[in-house]
Amino acid sequence: MATPQVETVSTGVDKAKLGAAAALVVAALAAYYVLGKQGQLAQWGALLLGLAVAIVVFFTSEPGKALYAFGRDAWREVKKVVWPSRKEAIQMTAYVFGFALLMAMFLWLTDKTLEWLFLDLILGWKK
C-alpha cells in the first residue's frame, strides 16, 4: 500500500511575498550599516522597522499563516500540560542528584576494585 504524497502548493503570490520578506531583511541590514554615521537611533530604527515590515509580509503568505497556526496549536497543547508542583520538582531533582552520586560512588569503587585485582594481585605491580 503506497503512502499518499504530500504536495506543497505555493502560488506565485506566496513566492513573491517570501522574496519580498527576504529582500526587506537584507534591506534592513543594509540600512543599519549605511546609516552608521547618522547615529544609533537611526540605525536601530531602520533595522527594527525593516524587520517588522518583513515579518508582517512573511505572515501574510501561506507559509507564514501555517507557521502562525502551528505556533497557536503548540501553545494550546502546552496549556494542557500538568506541570509538577515546586515540591515535586525539588524531590525529583534530589532523586536524580542522589542517584548520580550513588552511581559515581559505585563506579569509582568498581574501578578501584578492578585496579587492585588486576594490578596488585594478578600482575604484581605495586604502586
Instruction: Find out whether 37 and 52 touch, Cβ atoms under 8 Å.
Output: no
Q: Beta-carbon neighbour count of residue 64 at 10 Å?
A: 18
Scanning the structure block, which residue is given the C-alpha cell 547615529? 39
Residues 6+ apart with CB under 8 A from 64: 17, 58
Q: Beta-carbon neighbour count of residue 67 at 10 Å?
A: 13
Per-residue pLDDT, averaged over 23-42, amounts to 94
- Residue 58, pLDDT score: 96
Instruction: Find out whether 32 and 51 touch, Cβ atoms under 8 Å.
Output: no
pTM: 0.58
- Residue 121, pLDDT score: 80
pLDDT, tens only, 61-118: 999 999 999 999 999 999 999 989 999 999 999 999 999 999 999 999 999 999 999 8
Domain residue spans of the chain = 11-81, 84-127
Buried b (16+ CB within 10 A) or exposed e, 103-122: eeeeeeeeeeeeeeeeeeee
Instruction: Find out whether 4 and 20 touch, Cβ atoms under 8 Å.
Output: no
